[in-house]
Amino acid sequence: MTLKTQTPDQLDHTKIAGKLLSAILSFFILIGLDQITKHYIDTHMNLYDSISVIPNVFDIHYIRNAGAAWGMFQNQQILFYICTAIVLILGIILYLRCLRMNRYTDLRVLLILILSGAVGNFIDRIRYQYVIDFFYFKLIDFPVFNVADCYVTVGFILLLIIILFKYKEEDFEMLFSLRKHN
């Protein structure tokens, strides 16, 4: 009886497949969490109802937003579809490139977070022509937002931090060059 051994290439492909599967699973779990929270709000609250969580600071306030933050671009669904498609395409390409290079784990995690948020709100826009929002920081009168918005916002803030303080110009040249890197 002979034992089959995997070549280094096969091991690399197995590792990449495992990381990709983990990313896809995380992506769908995050989207699921967003959709579950929106469904819960939609089925357990009336539109414009509020529940005070921390009096005069934080409320659960159910609204339907056909625009972006602060009410910008109301009813411009085509614009949101186009922007989401562009973000998804570029994000997936960048994610796969990082994965193939077996580098930039933190960037890959942030891309999953950002893409999950984009898809979570995209699902609402396709289904309803608006996004269900419900987190409201009353103290600072911040725009009402949702779980998907948290993913995108936290993802972009952390992305900005690692771009400014962690990665060097060489990293970006390698990541965005047209040459194949190992």
Cβ proximity of 138 and 59 under 8 Å: yes
Residue 133 is among the residues annotated as catalytic for this protein: yes
Please pick, among 34, 59, 124, 149, the residue that the annotation labels catalytic.
149
Tokens of 5: 């051994």
Among the listed residues 49, 133, 141, 171, the single catalytic one is 133
What distance in Å separates the CA atoms of residue 88 and residue 91, rounded to the nearest whole number?
5
How far CA 5 is from CA of 2, 19, 21, 73, 106, in Å, comes to 9, 21, 23, 57, 31
Identify the residue whose tokens are 């022509």. Answer: 129
The four Cα atoms 116, 118, 124, 129 give a dihedral, to 10 degrees, of -170
Catalytic residues: 133, 149
